[in-house]
Structures are given as structure tokens and as C-alpha cells.
Amino acid sequence: MHKLTGALLAAGSAALIAGAALAGMPDYIDGWTREEMAILASLSLKQLPPAPKDPSNAYEALPAAVHLGERIFADRRFSSNGAVSCASCHQPDKHFQDGAPLGLGVGTGSRRTMPVVAADHSPFLFWDGRKDSLWSQALGPLEDPAEHGGNRLAYAHLMQAHYRKDYEAIFGAMPDLRHFPKHASPAGTPLHKTTWNTMPESARHDVSRIFANMGKALAAYQKTLQHGESRLDRYVEGVVSGDQPSLQILSPEEKHGLRIFIGKGNCITCHNGPLLTDQHFHNTGVPQRHEKTPDMGRYAAIDKVMNDEFNCLGRYSDAKPELCEELNFIAAADHTTKAAFKTPGLRNVASRPPYMHAGQLASLEDVVRHYANAPASAAGHSELKPINLSEQEVRDVIAFLHTLSSPIVQRQ
């Protein structure tokens, strides 16, 4: 099935479900038809179901794991220079992102920091989907030389030195690490790799088990981070209920921008549902930072997630193989996945410049004009078609996007 066709069907299904709640309503409310009201209702945060349980993480619902994960999230000792934590890039006061074009850890990354709020609804993580769970995603930056830059064995020693009691209360007894080297990793420096390869397989497994459990605690914490209600949600509730005062929550310009978003602009094709994302990967002709070495996005990530030792089918997963449906039925890399990147959710989008997978576009105006102009892709083929938007329509779409701002809430 073509990706856009699938996205449209998903949007249509969501609207159909939401539309069931509109039975008995007038044909028009605030200028919206019944069909349009069904689409609006599908965008409401109230339509967001609970995130699916992750069968590969048996600890994600434990309050003790949430508490441990929150402490690790803010602990800068888990980095090669002792100055970088998960919260360095996923900053709570910036909607759990950093506002930088490229992630800044112990070095400079190659892509924009993605928000982690409501990421538990996504089957694949990161811009290219190279991870298949929150806990596996949390491990990637820890060993990335440009992010935390640390190594697996050093992290295990830190866990034993500072979090042993809390760790063992959740995951059981830690192995004795006193006779292990201080630094080693299969993904570190040449010296770290050499040291790792000299360790017995059972020792490497023990260390990797601690590392995997760090990720599971981090995922338990991240799963509590959710979006609060926005002005759009309150307006949609007013439309659905027919509450006249609530219909004044959005300005005429914002309502016009919303109308373009779900109609002429075709934004709803990919930015649909309560999180305003189809959770799929698309080539939208976003400029490459390095045209001679283009970022191939999803195309290059499928092998990575299938061969990841920390995926749902791996030895550190808590899932039975038949429950790993995303990996068991993953689509193969083909021309449609070249330079394709994940559709980001749009909640709080106005607070998160710059935009795109490597911060290539500085403002919402740049983004709207990019989609209207639909430039050709430097790698692969863009799915976009040009859209004729007037200057006022561009401003109104931007005004609508500001209605998606809301506080971040921590679900207990």
C-alpha cells in the first residue's frame, strides 16, 4: 500500500470513529460541515487512546522504574565528560527538546533532537525509525560518540556505585563488577572495543543486561510524559458539543488556517489523529545539509533496527517473538524509503523551532512555504505537490499551528 494512501485511510478511519460521536448533531456548526466536524473531532486529545503496552519492557509500569528512570534522565555522570545528561537535549522547560538545529552533546550530532513527549505511541523511534521501542531508543545516545560519548561498562559501574539498591529492587541482583575493567564497549573507541572483545561472553552479557535495564527505566519515565490540553482541543470540544462560548476560543484567522490544514493544504494527510502525525516516514524534499553525502533516512535505518541487539526480538527483550509485530512485518527498504523521515507530531510545534530532521528550516513560515512550493528532493523522490497559498493563507496556517500549544503533563 502506498504510504500516502495508507495515511489517508488512517485519517479517514480516525475521523469515522470520531464522527460516530457526532450522531444527532446539526448539519453545520460554526461553518463546519458534519464531515469536517468528524475530522476535527479526530484531532482532539480526548480521542487519543492509552499508549500500547510494550511487551519488550516488563518494567515500564512500575513506579519504582519511573522514579529510577527520572533520576538517570537528569544525571550528567552518564557521559564521557560528566556534563551531558538526557535532559541536556530533552530539556523539560523546552518541551523536552533543545531548540538547536543539531543535537549538542559531547559533540555535534547530525540531526535535530526529537521531543520525547508522547513518543510511546510511536512504533519506531528517531527521525529514521532505527529503534523499535522507547527503551532501546534511550540506549542509542548513551553510546553515540557525539551525544553522551560514554561506554557500556562505565555505565554499569556507575549504576552499581550510585543506584544499586534502586536497581536491584526492580531488576534483581547485580553481578559483581569489581574485577571488570573500568571502560569497555562494543560501540566505543578502538581501545574500548578491544577490551570488550577480551571479556568473557558471560561478562559482556551481564554488562549489556544492566545497560538494557537502564533503558527500560528511562522508558518507564518517558512514558509518563504527555501533552496537556490545547486551545484547539477546547475549540473542538465546543464544536462537538455545540457550546457557543467555546466557539470563540479560536480567532477567525486561526479557524481559516485550520480549514486550510484539513482541506486545501492537505496537511491532514500526514499530520492526522490526536498527535497530528501518522507515525510514518515520508520524503518531503527537505534540503539536505550535505548534498554530496545525502542522509537516506528510513532507507538506511531498516537494517539497523533489524540487526539491533536491543530490538524486540533480541535477547534483552521481555517479549515473546510473536508479539514483535512491528519487526515481524516491517516493510523492506525500497525507493519510497529513500530520504524519508518520520512525520513529527505537531503539538507544541510553535515552541520548537527550528524544523525538519536537521533543523534546515528556521521558522513556521519557512515550513509552510516549503510545503506550498514542494521542491524536488535532492535524494529519492518527494511526495509533495505544489499548493497555491496566498500570503494571507500562509499567515492563517501559521496562526492555526499556534493553537496547538499546551503544557506538558506527567501522568502518574
Residue in the structure block whose three cell numbers are 535532492: 378
Tell me how long the chain is: 412
Percent of the chain with pLDDT over 90: 90
Question: What number is the average pLDDT over the span 160-169?
Answer: 98
Q: Which of 295, 262, 258 is nearest to 401 (CA)?
A: 258
In this prediction, residue 292 carries a pLDDT of 85
In this prediction, residue 8 carries a pLDDT of 45
pLDDT one-digit tens code per residue, 256-275 = 999 999 999 999 999 999 99
Q: Which of 283, 74, 281 is nearest to 162 (CA)?
A: 74
Q: From CA 162, how far away is CA 148, in angstroms rounded?
A: 18
Q: From CA 200, how far away is CA 204, in angstroms rounded?
A: 6
Q: From CA 37, how far away is CA 41, in angstroms rounded?
A: 6
In this prediction, residue 18 carries a pLDDT of 54
Percent of the chain with pLDDT over 70: 94
Residue 398 has pLDDT above 70, yes or no: yes
Confidence of residue 3 (pLDDT cuts 50, 70, 90): very low
Grid cell for residue 114: 526529537
Grid cell for residue 155: 555505565
Residues 6+ apart with CB under 8 A from 112: 97, 100, 101, 102, 103, 127, 354, 355, 356, 357, 358, 359
Residue 123 has pLDDT above 90, yes or no: yes
pLDDT one-digit tens code per residue, 18-66 = 555 566 678 889 999 999 999 999 999 999 999 999 999 999 999 999 9
Instruction: Give this prediction's pTM.
Output: 0.92
Q: How many CB atoms lie within 10 A of CB 209?
A: 17
In this prediction, residue 90 carries a pLDDT of 95
Residues facing 97 on adjacent strands: 91
Residue 166 has pLDDT above 50, yes or no: yes
pLDDT one-digit tens code per residue, 204-252 = 999 999 999 999 999 999 999 999 999 999 999 999 998 999 999 999 9
Q: How many helical (H) and strand (E) elements, i.e. helices and strands, does the chain have?
A: 15, 6
Judge whether 232 and 103 are in contact, CB under 8 Å: no
Confidence of residue 4 (pLDDT cuts 50, 70, 90): very low
- 3-class DSSP state for residue 28? strand
Residue 337 has pLDDT above 80, yes or no: yes
In this prediction, residue 12 carries a pLDDT of 52
Confidence of residue 96 (pLDDT cuts 50, 70, 90): very high
Residue 1 has pLDDT above 80, yes or no: no
